[in-house]
Amino acid sequence: MKTRTEEIAQAAKAAVEAALWAPSIHNTQPWSFGVSGDEISLRADPDRKLRVSDPTGRQLMISCGAALFNVRITLLALGYEPEVRRIPDPERPLLLATVRVRPGQEPGEHVRLLHGEIERRRTHRSGFTALPVPDRLIDALVAEATAEGGHVTPIRSDASARVLAALTGAAQDVQSQNRLFVLELMRWARPPGSSRRDGVPAAGYPTDPRRTYPQHFAQRDYARGHEWGMAPDERVSASTGLVALLSTAGDSREDWLHAGEALQRMLLHASAYGLSVAFHTQALEMPELREFIRRHLCSDEPPQMIMRLGFVIDESESVRRAPSEVLE
Ligand SMILES: Cc1cc2nc3c(=O)[nH]c(=O)nc-3n(C[C@H](O)[C@H](O)[C@H](O)COP(=O)(O)O)c2cc1C
């Protein structure tokens, strides 16, 4: 028989292991965790912050927020109640959250459903099949994000989707000519056969992403002229999918953490219904373009993510570091 202390320690370990599967910008996995008694702490890892493309740490915070959601949902799925304090100590800015493992209840079906998707979910990086995203599923995704303080806006107008695609293309072109942006991306792009467990692996994107219709969203250039990536699958469809924005009411560090929690909750729900999600956040890394999107496409709310949603045939691959590398 395990003691209560041992049971809590085991649940905390499972929660940290699940956290590692969160999406993060360029798979930087910019986090570290501590477990002390019944408390899990989540810290930002400043060495993994993108100093050129993410100087404010906004995308780092979103990534850590997604990891925090995995901690919470895992504890709930194991029958515990997570007691969360976000940014608990202004004197220690790297400490992003503490989670106390409290006694809870039998998990409901929905909690188990989301928890079951943590390791299955993957970022998609090409076109979607022509199957439309059902309205009921869109409504459910909006509700999941809202429950975490995020706001998902499906972009239904062709003109607005074209504007977002054009801004993505412009940002991608500007970044590809900026040596500092390119060097930073190079640091996180992994050649085929790499044994590194972070960064974007060559198996995570197609060699030659085909144009998508009706709008084309530029992909990040992880391969930089190399023949890296997976051979394009001829069956892969060329539909853009549903374009959507995630925004938050404010733009503080706490808002960014909530944005990550909302994102991950929405992504796990999407995954449970076979829906994949692609991200194109280049334009949000350029303050002028981000401001433009906020004013013209986001009802004046600060945009946090630009996404495409749809159904796919095959899924790409990803990698993660071992729990021992992120546990202090
Ligand atoms: C804040 C944020 C921004 C991201 N931006 C992009 C992007 O612009 N393009 C892209 O292909 N993936 C983007 N991603 C996805 C990450 O590259 C992906 O999560 C990471 O490589 C891990 O892979 P996985 O999601 O398949 O597990 C982003 C993820 C986060 C959290």
Three-state secondary structure readout of 267-325? HHHHHHCCCEEEECCHHHHCHHHHHHHHHHHCCCCCEEEEEEEECCCCCCCCCCCCHHH
Report d(CA 166, CA 237) in Å as an integer: 21
Which residues are 321's β-sheet partners? none
User: What ligand 1 atom has the least distance to the C-alpha of 62?
Assistant: 1
Pick the closest to residue 270 from 126, 78, 124 (CA basis): 124
Nearest residue (CA) to ligand 1, atom 19: 23
Give the pLDDT score at 124. 94
Give the pLDDT score at 222. 95
Q: Enumerate the domain spans of the chain.
A: 4-120, 135-310
Q: How many angstroms separate the alpha carbon of residue 59 from the centre of ligand 1? A: 10
User: What ligand 1 atom has the least distance to the C-alpha of 204?
Assistant: 26
Ligand 1 shell residues, CB under 6 Å: 23-27, 59, 62-63, 66, 122-123, 125, 200, 220, 279-282, 318
User: What ligand 1 atom has the least distance to the C-alpha of 316?
Assistant: 26
Q: How many angstroms separate the alpha carbon of residue 7 from the centre of ligand 1? A: 33
Q: How many angstroms separate the alpha carbon of residue 34 from the centre of ligand 1? A: 24
Q: How many angstroms separate the alpha carbon of residue 122 from the centre of ligand 1? A: 9
Q: How many angstroms separate the alpha carbon of residue 41 from the centre of ligand 1? A: 23
Architecture label for domain 4-120: 3-Layer(aba) Sandwich (3.40)
Nearest residue (CA) to ligand 1, atom 28: 25
Write out the H or E segment, with its range, that includes residue 109. helix 109-115
Q: What is the pLDDT along the chain (328 residues), one digit of tens a residue?
A: 889 999 999 999 999 999 999 999 999 999 999 999 999 999 999 999 999 999 999 999 999 999 999 999 999 999 999 999 999 999 999 999 999 999 999 999 999 999 999 999 999 999 999 999 999 999 999 999 999 999 999 999 999 999 999 999 999 999 999 999 999 999 999 999 999 999 999 999 988 878 999 999 999 999 988 889 888 766 668 999 999 999 999 999 999 999 999 999 999 999 999 999 999 999 999 999 999 999 999 999 999 999 999 999 866 778 999 999 999 8
User: What ligand 1 atom has the least distance to the C-alpha of 304?
Assistant: 1
Give the pLDDT score at 274. 96
User: What ligand 1 atom has the least distance to the C-alpha of 200?
Assistant: 21
Quickly count: other Cβ atoms within 10 Å of residue 230's Cβ.
19
Give the pLDDT score at 184. 98
User: What ligand 1 atom has the least distance to the C-alpha of 22?
Assistant: 27
Q: Do domains 4-120 and 135-310 have the same CATH topology?
A: yes
Give the pLDDT score at 315. 67
Give the pLDDT score at 311. 95
Q: Looking up tokens 């994102």, which residue turns up?
A: 263
Q: How many angstroms separate the alpha carbon of residue 278 from the centre of ligand 1? A: 8
Nearest residue (CA) to ligand 1, atom 17: 26
Instruction: Pull the structure tokens for residue 1.
Output: 């028989």
Architecture label for domain 135-310: 3-Layer(aba) Sandwich (3.40)
Report d(CA 305, CA 142) in Å as an integer: 14
Give the pLDDT score at 209. 79
Mutate to test the pocket of ligand 1, among 119, 120, 123 (most ligand atoms within 8 A of CB): 123
Give the pLDDT score at 234. 64
